[in-house]
Amino acid sequence: MSDDDVRRVRAGRRTVEVHRPGKVLFPAGDGAAEYTKGDLADYYRSVARFMLPHLRGRPLMLERHPDGLDGPRFMQKNTPESYPDWVRRVEVAKEGGTVCHTVCDDTATLVLLADQAAVTPHRWLSRTGSLDRPDRMVFDLDPAGDDFEPVREAARLLGGLLDELGLPTALMTTGLRGLHVVVPLNGRHDFDDVRQFARDTADTLAAAHPDRLTTAARKKERGDRLYLDVQRNAYAQTAVAPFAVRAKPGAPVAVPVEWSALDDPGLHARRWTINDAADQARSDPWAGAPARGRALGPARRRLDALR
- List per-block mean pLDDT (blocks of 10 residues) for the chain, which spans 307 residues: 79 96 96 97 97 97 97 97 97 92 98 98 97 98 96 98 97 98 97 98 98 96 97 97 98 97 97 97 87 92 94
* Domain end position, chosen among 124, 149, 170: 124
- Grouping H, G, I as helix, E, B as strand and the rest as coil, residue 56 is coil
CATH number of the domain bearing residue 215: 3.90.920.10
pLDDT for position 4: 64
CA dist 161 and 156 (Å) reads: 9
Q: In sequence order, what are the residues at sequence separation of 6 or more whose Cβ sits closer than 8 angstroms to the Cβ of residue 279? A: none
Q: What DSSP assignment string belongs to 222-270?
A: TTTSEEEE-TTSSTT-EEEPTTPBPSSTT-BB--EE-GGGGG-TT--TT
* Domain end position, chosen among 68, 101, 124: 124
CA dist 124 and 234 (Å) reads: 9
pLDDT for position 1: 45
pLDDT for position 307: 83
The answer on 96 and 143 residing in a single domain is no
The answer on 146 and 246 residing in a single domain is yes
pLDDT for position 290: 76
The answer on 109 and 252 residing in a single domain is no
Task: Provide the residue range defining the domain that includes 98.
Answer: 1-124
Number of domains in the chain: 2
The answer on 289 and 156 residing in a single domain is yes
HEC assignment per residue over 176-199: CCCEEEEEEECCCCCHHHHHHHHH
The answer on 39 and 154 residing in a single domain is no
The answer on 146 and 263 residing in a single domain is yes
The answer on 138 and 116 residing in a single domain is no
Dihedral pair phi/psi, residue 225, rounded to 5° = -85, 150
The answer on 139 and 116 residing in a single domain is no
The answer on 72 and 31 residing in a single domain is yes
CA dist 187 and 102 (Å) reads: 21
The H-assigned helical ranges of 78-225 are 107-115, 149-164, 191-208
The answer on 290 and 204 residing in a single domain is yes
The answer on 114 and 177 residing in a single domain is no
**Secondary element (H or E) of residue 278:** helix 277-282
Bridge partners for 60 per DSSP = 102, 123
* Domain end position, chosen among 94, 124, 154: 124
Bridge partners for 63 per DSSP = 75, 120
The answer on 143 and 87 residing in a single domain is no
